Amino acid sequence: MTKDREEEKILRRSSLATPAGVVVLIERDRSLVGLVFEDHWAHFRGHLERRFGNFSFEEDPRGGAPAEALRRYFAGNLDALDAIEVDMGGTPFQESVWRALRRIPPRTTWSYARLAKEIGRPTAVRAVAGANGANPVSIVIPCHRVIGSDGSLTGYGGGLPRKSWLLAHEGALLA
């Protein structure tokens, strides 16, 4: 076991009620390392255990800057999430997909094929879909903006009704 895994990490946790459901935000060193809908928390906690090993939570009832940015986003300021610092902790391939996701503007959707082309891996559509599905910072890394090539809604970790709601909130046109 490495020294880094032996030392207990302190993660700041907060919850925020949103029109799409309660979300749990996890921060470490002023970066958002997790954002998940509360009903998916048990599964996501396992992800945190694999990533950070030994950790404990410090509860933050106010939620800090990420929670404030989310409040502005849900109030209609769709660019409010751009300034949130994230630390996703993925593989280099996953990180490339997640960086590309942040380049999808609000009110816009991309297909998995376009996302694969954007990262220079046009034949890696399935791998891109897998990385999209492993996104640990939902909404801020807007994986909900990725749809099927035929314009249909496809999988979303928070559920298709939430994906549909988020896209409607953003005014995205589904062709």
Would you name the residues annotated as active-site residues? 143
- The answer to whether residues 67 and 44 touch, using CB atoms and an 8 Å cutoff, is no
Q: List the alpha helices (DSSP H) in the chain.
A: 3-6, 41-52, 64-74, 92-102, 112-118, 125-133, 160-170
| Residue 138 near residue 158, CB atoms below 8 Å | yes
Say if residues 74 and 169 touch (Cβ distance below 8 Å): yes
